[in-house]
Amino acid sequence: MAEISKDFITHFEFLGYEIEPHEDENTVIARHQRYGTTVVRAYLDGLLFQQYFRLKENVMGNRLAFLEAVNNLNSKAYIVTYVSVGEPKVTLRMDAIYFGPYDKQRFGVFLEAFNFDTYDRVVEHEAMKNFIE
């Protein structure tokens, strides 16, 4: 199985992320004061990034409005796919894949887009403000 290159870890740390090892040796937890917690896994020929937003209890009572907001986010995303997961406690999961070996410029652009999609785009989305904790 692939592993996460030290170059990726160094890049994260340079940008202020704290890196925690995970019980799965091909996975790390990357925590950032502004952007939150991201699970990073070696995946195919690259990395799978996953992040989650906890949602308020009102999601189930407004399921259609919530799913319309998720669909709207997906239609505007740069690189992330937004998915509603779990029942009865629903969570917003955000997935993105970085393909290929580490490249400083490419990874920097990817991470900037990922952070925008998983933080700025969600917290500034008018309809989603009603659902995120």
**Which residues neighbour 10 within 8 Å (Cβ) at sequence distance 6 or greater?**
none
Q: 1 lies in a domain?
A: no
- The predicted pLDDT at position 101 comes to 93
Residue 71 has which token pair? Answer: 């669909």
Q: 119 lies in a domain?
A: yes
SS (H, E, C) the chain: CCCCCHHHHHHHHHCCCEEEECCCCCEEEEEECCCEEEEEEEECCEEEEEEEEEECHHHHHHHHHHHHHHHHHHHHCCCCEEEEECCCCCEEEEEEEEECCCCHHHHHHHHHHHHHHHHHHHHCCCCHHHCEC
- The predicted pLDDT at position 2 comes to 65
pLDDT confidence bin for 25, thresholds 50/70/90: confident
- The predicted pLDDT at position 10 comes to 96
Question: Could you tell me the CATH number of the domain that includes residue 36?
Answer: 3.30.1460.10
pTM: 0.91
pLDDT digits (tens, 9 = 90+) for 44-68: 889 999 999 999 988 888 889 999 9
The Cα–Cα gap between 64 and 61 comes to: 9
- The predicted pLDDT at position 22 comes to 87
Number of domains in the chain: 1
The Cα–Cα gap between 93 and 133 comes to: 14
Q: 84 lies in a domain?
A: yes
Q: 31 lies in a domain?
A: yes
pLDDT digits (tens, 9 = 90+) for 75-95: 999 999 999 998 778 899 999
The parent domain of residue 86 ranges over 6-130
Q: 97 lies in a domain?
A: yes
